[in-house]
Structure 1
């Protein structure tokens, strides 16, 4: 009886013709898979967010206080970083004081060395004896803390990242310099992208004598060092953004051209390209509508790696005095100024060095994430 009741409860399913053909979940395109894989990479996502914040700050940062970019005043030169609230936390590094350790044969001599180091303003210097010594040479050691804002009667003023040797606000100049460095990098990368893709695409697609001629020209350009080109630019143009962009453009596109050429040569004999040719499409349409979309992944990835290279190259040129020159600011000029004062005022070097490191690491991590995202083997 029980079996009969159970049997009555079982209702046979009606078979429909399209039941077996239904897809349980919607199919994803290649770009959707790439986006999904990219956002699974936490480091790449964090780097992208960090980079967006840096770009935003490069525009809004200089206007976040009342200190102008070129507002000079030697009376406030070399002030350490001081931030409201954080100034009360001794280990924060934004307390607005200068601190160092001094040695001498005796405590009195070490104290004298400390006081003379800070302009003999003894009333604004706190001395802490670290080692009283035993009378031998430089055996006594003291720690001196100089309250420089009080000494300059500037207790109500705050310079979030301190000031440079001319009294200019480091916060304002840091973000203004970031804008200049990013601008140079993006312009150089965009120009290199256009030239490299066009050059490599033509060489790879047409092949034969066209490829031979274009590759020989490319090899000549690859053999010219960027520094030599910069020096030649100095003879024609003044040091600045224009000369750096031109120097980066002249040889910066060669790597992109080689990569695009190789990918086009690999793709041009595929079935979809042969089908397009059979349908009578022009070479221009075959390249722009079929080849370039299929190699866009490698182009994007290579561009993401070219941008930090351009930023570093600009910083290097400005550091050795061949790029942006003071009073204009860039990350390279700020690092150069900080390097000259690293022994006495290390904060001038620390902040721009940290920022350029974060920018370069972020771009490289994003490039790694895009490389994995555009690799079909990484899609799950």
Structure 2
């Protein structure tokens, strides 16, 4: 459009821009606090939010799960030992694995030989074993192959009985024990993480704030504690205390807080020379109040993130101890003790291992993904 056409435009199309003092520097979008930005970034992180929902559901199930059926965690019934999972409504769908049957593939020189192995494998209950021929064989060893399916609930006259996740070697309900074991593992992890948080933050804050000789002595103590293997501490706790939750928590706390203390100390060393700390000192604020009110809130993001990574480490450590027989003592259950029992029966009854191992993996992965999400949320560079 040339200058002539512009001059011919009606003046009604134009309005003068009025500049005002209170609107000339108006912010185009509402200001947000650091906490609001962190929450907004976290909510936009879909994997972290999915992990948070999964963890909340697991925590809820660890509370109400044992009360969802009529079986107690220590109710033994040897007649119902090693029963496979059976769920109402899902028993008709065999490929899901909740139909209450035991299956195995066996080989032999002939189909008849493989079938005899199947009968011996499933207590000679011929009337309740379905045989499916996979390979007829040519007479050579292990050339014939069959798949045997044993309807154990019918064989024991338990058509109206349902064990949602099966039973263990003593006939105890796996569903009830799984959620009670999850509750025990989570309690140990949360209590240990909380104590690590309190001790580590206090110790690291004091060490970093005062510095000098105080910091030097306190750091040497941390180096000594860090050099003691955790298993040695556990063995000492077993000699002093009975095996159980208390001894595991104490062993986790004795050396677990050192990592938190070092992180807090490093951050406090960076912040204690800032202007707001010098201003607080000038106004006569006590050292304890400066640490509590000024320093710790400014490093809260790092503390929260580190705590979120401490919890799965504690869960795994408890599971490892129970797996090797140094953790929760029978008849109490934890994820580690359930995995230990399942490992002993893995080849014949794999469901006893699959469910606790899968739940432990889900808890570990969910906490780590949530920890990554919190780390991004508390990183100012990630805020948009």
Q: Does the TM-score normalized on the shorter chain lie above 0.5?
A: yes
Residue among 152, 157, 161 paired with 1:153: 157
Q: Which residue of 2 aligns with 1:44?
A: 48
Structure 2: state its 5+ residue gaps.
Answer: 1-5
Give the root-mean-square deviation of aligned CA atoms.
1.4
Q: Which residue of 1 aligns with 2:135?
A: 131
Distance in 2 between residues matched to 1:14 and 1:334, nearest whole Å: 75
Distance in 1 between residues matched to 2:302 and 2:16, nearest whole Å: 54
Residue among 222, 228, 246 paired with 1:224: 228
Q: Which runs of 4+ in 1 moved over 6 A?
A: 2-5
Distance in 1 between residues matched to 2:12 and 2:162, nearest whole Å: 84
Distance in 2 between residues matched to 1:14 and 1:132, nearest whole Å: 94
Residue among 87, 91, 96 paired with 1:87: 91
| 1:202 is aligned to 2:174 | no
Q: Which residue of 1 aligns with 2:3?
A: none
Q: Secondary structure at the match of 1:45?
A: helix
Deviates further, 24-33 or 291-300: 24-33
Distance in 2 between residues matched to 1:162 and 1:292, nearest whole Å: 49
Q: Secondary structure at the match of 1:248?
A: helix
**Superposition pairs of residues 150-299 of structure 1, within 5 angstroms:** 150-299=154-303
- How far the C-alpha of 1:13 sits from its partner, in A, is 4.1
- How far the C-alpha of 1:137 sits from its partner, in A, is 1.3
Distance in 1 between residues matched to 2:361 and 2:21, nearest whole Å: 61
- How far the C-alpha of 1:168 sits from its partner, in A, is 0.6
Distance in 1 between residues matched to 2:169 and 2:266, nearest whole Å: 51
Distance in 2 between residues matched to 1:14 and 1:192, nearest whole Å: 60
With structure 2 as the length reference, what TM-score do the two structures score? 0.97
Cα displacement string for residues 179-203 of structure 1 (whole angstroms, at most 9, x for unaligned residues): 0000000000000110000111110
Cα displacement string for residues 227-255 of structure 1 (whole angstroms, at most 9, x for unaligned residues): 00110111111100010001001001010
Q: Secondary structure at the match of 1:323?
A: coil
- How far the C-alpha of 1:6 sits from its partner, in A, is 2.4
Residue among 350, 353, 360 paired with 2:354: 350
Cα displacement string for residues 19-50 of structure 1 (whole angstroms, at most 9, x for unaligned residues): 21322221011111111111111110100000
Distance in 1 between residues matched to 2:20 and 2:366, nearest whole Å: 54
Residue among 67, 70, 73 paired with 2:71: 67
With structure 1 as the length reference, what TM-score do the two structures score? 0.98
- How far the C-alpha of 1:11 sits from its partner, in A, is 3.7
Cα displacement string for residues 262-302 of structure 1 (whole angstroms, at most 9, x for unaligned residues): 11111111122112112221111111111000000100000
- How far the C-alpha of 1:10 sits from its partner, in A, is 3.5
Distance in 2 between residues matched to 1:186 and 1:203, nearest whole Å: 25
| 1:367 is aligned to 2:371 | yes
- How far the C-alpha of 1:348 sits from its partner, in A, is 0.2
Aligned residues: 380
Q: Secondary structure at the match of 1:144?
A: strand
| 1:99 is aligned to 2:99 | no
Distance in 2 between residues matched to 1:71 and 1:235, nearest whole Å: 30
Q: Secondary structure at the match of 1:253?
A: helix
Q: Which residue of 2 aligns with 1:377?
A: 381
- How far the C-alpha of 1:3 sits from its partner, in A, is 7.0
Distance in 1 between residues matched to 2:331 and 2:148, nearest whole Å: 33
Q: Which residue of 1 aligns with 2:116?
A: 112
Q: Secondary structure at the match of 2:32?
A: coil
Distance in 2 between residues matched to 1:17 and 1:50, nearest whole Å: 52
Q: Secondary structure at the match of 1:344?
A: coil
Cα displacement string for residues 81-122 of structure 1 (whole angstroms, at most 9, x for unaligned residues): 011111111211111100000111111111000000100000
Deviates further, 277-286 or 95-104: 277-286
Distance in 2 between residues matched to 1:249 and 1:56, nearest whole Å: 26
**Superposition pairs of residues 18-57 of structure 1, within 5 angstroms:** 18-57=22-61
Q: Secondary structure at the match of 2:133?
A: strand
Distance in 1 between residues matched to 2:322 and 2:205, nearest whole Å: 34
